[in-house]
């Protein structure tokens, strides 16, 4: 006989397929689940309870909610012992663990991600959001502060998962960077007196909250709607709710794992509900006196023994009448504080907002504020902590309320203003005005063996206009892999060469430097310009001679890695610098070249397209050109994701290409940043590949090889003496072998999106149809599944970069170390593009009228700029 829940497998498989791609077309799952439930006798009770809990949300209009519910249903099927098809196994694996809160498809379930420990269903579940320790009444000894490891694990570090890739970081305690350093807001918290309590004060100090201003600028993580009381019957599992009830019973009871927990039953006329607490001190019983009326607020859950509120915040019902800041309103929940500390912290925040927000100076000029219809800074802060009753809860929670937007604008505006000032500084320096007259331009273009694409032509035009001006050029050229950036660099370099200047070309790796040297030499030496490679390879004598040739001016164009700027390379007459694959150079390295007292024109090229919003921030001081067209004759790369079990098919694909006379890359990831492991992995990989393809010649390329060894291997590959090149990410950047038509990426789930796109760019460079196979572990996370799906669907570097930014957030996208980006507490670069454009336009408008910010109405700006971006701006503005 078939399994009673088997009928659910088909519909769910369809609904969950390809990361819920069909979800919007799936209707009325509720009926399907209900029907299955009705006939489900003899099924594991945990599975049933999880199914019942998920039921109300399986057709939820919000996709995230709905997905969470479906994951929960799949989890229940798994619990019930059904054998699931692969797709659903994946879903089950990514779904929260059995039973417990994980079964309830709520924000909490989404939040809990996969790390929720396997609690038994009959027990209440520790909150996934904050481990709870109630504040004891002062007379009692403090309860153990430490939550159990498991509860901690569930709580940290990702507290709340919203839409994919959204503001995880939001849940961390993030202080707006604009707390003033002087005035009333800078007074120490401890001067606020006894009511603060030494315990809370210590907690706050530990978090770096020491001054009154810090409280004002620590924004609520989310909000709780306590505007309306519900009857107990109205409390829905999966929702937060506030209710009033009379305590019927209260005691410590034994859980299934032998640990005791506290359980009280509270009732009103409509019904009753349990309130449960883990790790509660003996004082708790004193609060739940039988017969007493209490207000309870917290998250409602379904358990096998009925509904419960886990770790509710409680209050004597008499307080309802007084104008409490804790009830009858929308209540702020602050990041990084335990539930039990929320209440006393809320009181503190309320006091600070009431008495101190008004001392904050409004930094924006009145005219700008009026024009954009922004509320004042003090008003915005007051509303953020204690929103008015008619506020839109969803927008508050999403940090998109009018008061949040005011602060987000503020952050972006001052960022853009700082960057704008820097940009203006560059423009007033004196550099070289190159001759870019038509004949010279024509001569430069004709050095290329092919016709420029329209986009290349346009970008060269933009560069030439910059070069003709006396101030130093600072231009960023963005172009997808293979869009022909090198050709653009070559033509521009020729303009400088023809004018009698030297050119430096910097590449991020030796391999790429060598490749550039070859290209430039082939095209430039016939025109009489000597090209040299400044490299780590070669004898001391050779190196010295090369350097001397650069210093004498015999070498007109020098190619190299960072050795070019770090070493003792002196130029005779350097006028033009090309920096390839910019994101690999720290901003500081760019700076070190400029600080050699040179004012050359600088052309930065990047193949990691940077989303517009990020470019505006990162490179706000640069002008940006985009090559948005590929040279003719390219065929897009087809990309497919496979898992380990499908390896044979992948190898067949590789073999087929080699049989056609094409070549292949097989890429292994860096293992834990360790070059040694990386090497072992790739070496073992090469041996394995040789076994799989006994006829093929297999080569190995990795980061620990000497430059000449790498060079030899690359040359063999280029000359088709090697069929399959097994490598680490060494090939990521810029390598150009058009005959290579297939790339296999191992453990693809470990790579970032942009990196995958870069790697893939190594194939599809010739006319042959090319393939990219991504082999990923079945146990991969949802995030990586999503990432890999993006690769399957898009070949467009900009689309991929936007997605990457969305999934990873700006810090990681660029690598925080290099990005020089100030942290934004409210604004989100992945999402606030429009606001950023607005901020930039307004900042530029102000700087146009008053470049040095001397006008009296701009003094607030000057002060705020100094206060906010001191130190950080210095890094962001290096250029």
Tokens of 70: 């479906």
Q: Give the nearer residue to ligand ADP in terms of CB position, either 252 or 450.
A: 450
Which one of Mg ion, ligand ADP, none interacts with residue 479, CB within 5 to 8 A by kind? Answer: ligand ADP
Strand partners, 665: 725, 743
Please, are residues 267 and 232 in contact by the beta-carbon 8 Å criterion?
A: yes
Q: Give the nearer residue to Mg ion in terms of CB position, either 154 or 559.
A: 559
Neighbour count for residue 449 (Cβ, 10 Å): 8
Q: Which residue is nearest to ligand ADP (CB)?
A: 484
Q: Give the nearer residue to ligand ADP in terms of CB position, either 92 or 507.
A: 507
Q: Give the nearer residue to Mg ion in terms of CB position, either 332 or 734.
A: 734
Query: Whose structure tokens read 């790369």?
Result: 637
CB of 506 to ligand ADP, least distance (A): 14
CB of 483 to ligand ADP, least distance (A): 4
Which one of Mg ion, ligand ADP, none interacts with residue 252, CB within 5 to 8 A by kind? Answer: none
Q: Give the nearer residue to Mg ion in terms of CB position, either 132 or 489.
A: 489
Tokens of 739: 């005959």
Q: Please tell me whether residue 267 adopts helix, strand or coil conformation.
A: strand
Q: Give the nearer residue to ligand ADP in terms of CB position, either 47 or 735.
A: 735
Which one of Mg ion, ligand ADP, none interacts with residue 482, CB within 5 to 8 A by kind? Answer: ligand ADP
Which one of Mg ion, ligand ADP, none interacts with residue 148, CB within 5 to 8 A by kind? Answer: none
Which one of Mg ion, ligand ADP, none interacts with residue 216, CB within 5 to 8 A by kind? Answer: none
Q: Give the nearer residue to ligand ADP in terms of CB position, either 171 or 483.
A: 483
Which one of ligand ADP, Mg ion, none interacts with residue 481, CB within 5 to 8 A by kind? Answer: ligand ADP
Please, are residues 215 and 352 in contact by the beta-carbon 8 Å criterion?
A: yes
Longest Cα pair distance anywhere in the chain, in angstroms? 98
Closest CA to 115 of 75, 73, 155: 155
CB of 606 to Mg ion, least distance (A): 9
CB of 797 to Mg ion, least distance (A): 12
CB of 493 to ligand ADP, least distance (A): 13
CB of 750 to ligand ADP, least distance (A): 24
Task: Give the orientation angle of helix 782-793 with respect to helix 86-94, to 10 degrees.
Answer: 130
Q: Give the nearer residue to ligand ADP in terms of CB position, either 481 or 743.
A: 481
- Length of the chain in residues, anyone? 879
Which one of Mg ion, ligand ADP, none interacts with residue 456, CB within 5 to 8 A by kind? Answer: ligand ADP
- Residues forming contacts to ligand ADP in the complex (CB under 6 A) are 450-453, 456, 479, 481-487, 607, 631, 734, 736, 765
Q: Tell me: does residue 734 bind Mg ion (CB under 5 A).
A: yes
Q: Give the nearer residue to ligand ADP in terms of CB position, either 311 or 718.
A: 718
Helix residue spans in 131-257 (DSSP H):
149-155, 198-206, 212-217
Which one of Mg ion, ligand ADP, none interacts with residue 755, CB within 5 to 8 A by kind? Answer: none
Q: Give the nearer residue to ligand ADP in terms of CB position, either 369 or 521.
A: 521
Strands (E), 443-595: 474-479, 502-506, 531-534, 557-560, 574-580
Tokens of 297: 């607020």
Which one of ligand ADP, Mg ion, none interacts with residue 736, CB within 5 to 8 A by kind? Answer: ligand ADP
Please, are residues 599 and 580 in contact by the beta-carbon 8 Å criterion?
A: no
Exposure string of 3-42, with b = 16+ CB inside 10 Å and e = fewer, is bbbebbbebbbebbeebbeebeebeebeebbeebbeebee
DSSP state of 747: T
Residue numbers 506-535 binding Mg ion by CB under 5 A: none
Task: Give the orientation angle of helix 753-760 with respect to helix 797-808, to 10 degrees.
Answer: 160
Which one of ligand ADP, Mg ion, none interacts with residue 483, CB within 5 to 8 A by kind? Answer: ligand ADP
Please state, in angstroms and as integers, the Cα–Cα distance from residue 205 to each residue in 17, 182, 668, following that order.
Answer: 48, 19, 46
CB of 481 to ligand ADP, least distance (A): 5
CB of 634 to ligand ADP, least distance (A): 8
Which one of ligand ADP, Mg ion, none interacts with residue 80, CB within 5 to 8 A by kind? Answer: none
DSSP state of 262: E
Q: CB under 5 A: which stretch of 133-141, 286-294, 406-414, 728-736 binds Mg ion? A: 728-736
CB of 806 to ligand ADP, least distance (A): 24
Residue numbers 481-510 binding Mg ion by CB under 5 A: 485
* CA–CA separation, 606 and 586 (whole Å): 13
CB of 509 to Mg ion, least distance (A): 11
Q: CB under 5 A: which stretch of 245-253, 357-365, 480-488, 846-854 binds Mg ion? A: 480-488
Q: Give the nearer residue to ligand ADP in terms of CB position, either 116 or 740.
A: 740
Q: Give the nearer residue to ligand ADP in terms of CB position, either 453 or 613.
A: 453
Please, are residues 121 and 256 in contact by the beta-carbon 8 Å criterion?
A: no
Please, are residues 532 and 518 in contact by the beta-carbon 8 Å criterion?
A: no
Residue numbers 587-646 binding Mg ion by CB under 5 A: none
DSSP state of 550: H
* CA–CA separation, 194 and 96 (whole Å): 43
CB of 608 to ligand ADP, least distance (A): 11
Q: Give the nearer residue to ligand ADP in terms of CB position, either 53 or 533.
A: 533
Q: Give the nearer residue to ligand ADP in terms of CB position, either 452 or 551.
A: 452
Q: CB under 5 A: which stretch of 180-188, 463-471, 521-529, 732-740 binds Mg ion? A: 732-740
CB of 441 to ligand ADP, least distance (A): 16
* Burial environment of residue 110 by CB neighbours within 10 A (0 to 12, 13 to 18, 19 or more): buried
Tokens of 222: 């989310």
Residues 6+ apart with CB under 8 A from 103: 46, 49, 50, 53, 54, 72, 75, 76, 96, 109, 121, 302
Tokens of 397: 């929670």
CB of 190 to ligand ADP, least distance (A): 59
* CA–CA separation, 127 and 648 (whole Å): 45
Rg (CA), the chain: 31
CB of 762 to ligand ADP, least distance (A): 9
Tokens of 589: 């390295």
User: Which chain residues interact with Mg ion by CB under 5 A?
Assistant: 485, 734
């Amino acid at each position: 006989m078939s399994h009673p829940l088997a009928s659910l497998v088909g519909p769910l498989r369809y609904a969950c397929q390809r990361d819920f791609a069909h979800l919007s077309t799936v209707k009325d799952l509720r009926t399907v689940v209900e029907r299955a439930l009705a006939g489900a006798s003899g099924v594991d009770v945990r599975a049933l309870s999880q199914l019942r809990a998920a039921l109300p949300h399986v057709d939820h209009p919000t996709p995230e909610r709905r997905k969470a519910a479906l994951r929960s249903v799949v989890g229940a099927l798994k619990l019930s012992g059904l054998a699931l098809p692969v797709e659903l196994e994946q879903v089950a694996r990514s779904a929260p663990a059995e039973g417990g809160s994980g079964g309830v498809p709520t924000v909490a379930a989404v939040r809990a991600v996969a790390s929720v420990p396997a609690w038994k269903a009959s027990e209440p579940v520790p909150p996934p959001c904050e481990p709870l320790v109630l504040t004891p009444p002062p007379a009692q000894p403090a309860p153990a502060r430490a939550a159990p490891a498991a509860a901690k694990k569930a709580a940290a570090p990702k507290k709340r998962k919203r839409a994919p890739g959204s503001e995880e970081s939001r849940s961390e305690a993030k202080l707006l960077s604009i707390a003033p350093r002087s005035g009333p807001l800078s007074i120490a918290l401890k001067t606020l007196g006894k009511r603060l309590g030494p315990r809370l004060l210590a907690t706050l100090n530990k978090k770096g909250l020491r001054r009154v201003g810090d409280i004002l600028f620590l924004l609520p993580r989310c909000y709780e709607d306590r505007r309306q009381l519900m009857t107990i019957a109205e409390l829905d599992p999966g929702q937060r709710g506030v209710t009033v009830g009379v305590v019927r019973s209260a005691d410590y009871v034994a859980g299934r794992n032998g640990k005791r927990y506290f359980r009280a039953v509270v009732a009103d006329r409509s019904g009753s509900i349990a309130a449960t607490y883990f790790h509660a001190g003996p004082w708790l019983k004193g609060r739940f006196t039988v017969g007493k009326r209490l207000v309870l607020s917290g998250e409602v859950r379904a358990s096998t023994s009925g509904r419960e509120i886990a770790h509710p915040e409680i209050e004597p019902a008499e307080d309802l009448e007084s104008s409490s800041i804790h009830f009858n309103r929308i209540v702020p929940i602050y990041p990084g504080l335990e539930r039990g500390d929320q209440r006393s912290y809320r009181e503190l925040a309320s006091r600070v907002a009431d008495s101190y927000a008004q001392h904050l100076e409004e930094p924006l000029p009145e005219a700008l504020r009026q024009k954009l219809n922004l509320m004042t800074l003090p008003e915005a802060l007051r509303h953020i902590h204690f929103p008015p009753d008619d506020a839109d809860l969803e927008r508050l929670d999403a940090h998109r309320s009018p008061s949040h937007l005011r602060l987000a604008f503020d952050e972006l505006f001052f960022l853009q203003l700082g960057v704008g000032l820097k940009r203006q500084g560059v423009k007033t320096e004196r550099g070289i005005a190159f001759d870019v007259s038509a004949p010279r331009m024509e001569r430069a273009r004709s050095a290329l063996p092919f016709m420029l694409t329209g986009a290349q032509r346009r970008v060269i035009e933009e560069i030439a206009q910059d070069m003709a001006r006396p101030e130093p050029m600072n231009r960023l050229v963005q172009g997808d892999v293979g869009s022909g950036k090198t050709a653009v660099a070559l033509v521009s370099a020729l303009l400088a060469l023809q004018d009698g200047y030297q050119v430096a070309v910097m590449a991020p790796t030796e391999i790429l430097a060598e490749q550039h040297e070859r290209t430039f030499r082939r095209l430039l030496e016939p025109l009489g310009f000597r090209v040299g490679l400044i490299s780590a390879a070669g004898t001391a004598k050779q190196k010295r001679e090369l350097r001397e040739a650069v210093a004498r001016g015999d070498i007109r164009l020098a190619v190299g890695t960072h050795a070019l700027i770090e070493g003792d390379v002196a130029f005779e007459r350097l006028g033009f610098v090309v920096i390839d694959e910019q994101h690999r150079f720290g901003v500081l390295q760019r700076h070190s070249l400029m600080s050699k007292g040179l004012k050359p024109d600088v052309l930065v090229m990047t193949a990691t397209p940077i989303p517009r919003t990020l470019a505006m921030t990162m490179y706000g001081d640069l002008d940006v050109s985009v090559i948005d067209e590929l040279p003719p004759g390219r065929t897009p790369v087809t990309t497919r994701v496979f898992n380990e079990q499908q390896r044979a098919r992948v190898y067949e694909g590789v073999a087929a290409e080699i049989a056609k006379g094409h070549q292949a890359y097989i890429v292994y990831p860096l293992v834990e940043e360790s070059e040694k492991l990386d090497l072992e992995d790739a070496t073992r990989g090469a041996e394995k590949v040789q076994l799989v393809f006994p006829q093929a010649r297999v080569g190995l390329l990795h980061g620990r090889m000497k430059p000449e060894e790498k060079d030899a291997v690359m040359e063999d590959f280029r000359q088709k003496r090697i069929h399959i090149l097994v490598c680490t990410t060494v090939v990521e950047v810029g390598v150009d072998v058009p005959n290579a038509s297939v790339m296999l990426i191992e453990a693809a789930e470990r790579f970032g999106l942009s990196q995958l796109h870069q790697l893939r760019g190594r194939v599809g460079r010739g006319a042959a149809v090319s393939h990219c196979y991504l082999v990923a572990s079945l146990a991969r996370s949802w995030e990586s599944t999503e990432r890999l799906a993006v690769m399957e669907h898009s070949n467009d570097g900009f689309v991929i970069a936007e997605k990457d930014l969305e999934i990873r957030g700006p810090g990681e996208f660029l690598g925080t170390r290099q990005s020089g980006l100030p942290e934004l507490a409210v604004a989100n670069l992945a999402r606030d593009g429009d606001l950023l454009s607005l901020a930039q336009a307004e900042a530029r408008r102000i700087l146009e009228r008053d470049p040095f910010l001397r006008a009296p109405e701009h003094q607030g700006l000057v002060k705020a700029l100094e206060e906010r971006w001191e130190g950080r701006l210095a890094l962001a503005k290096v250029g």
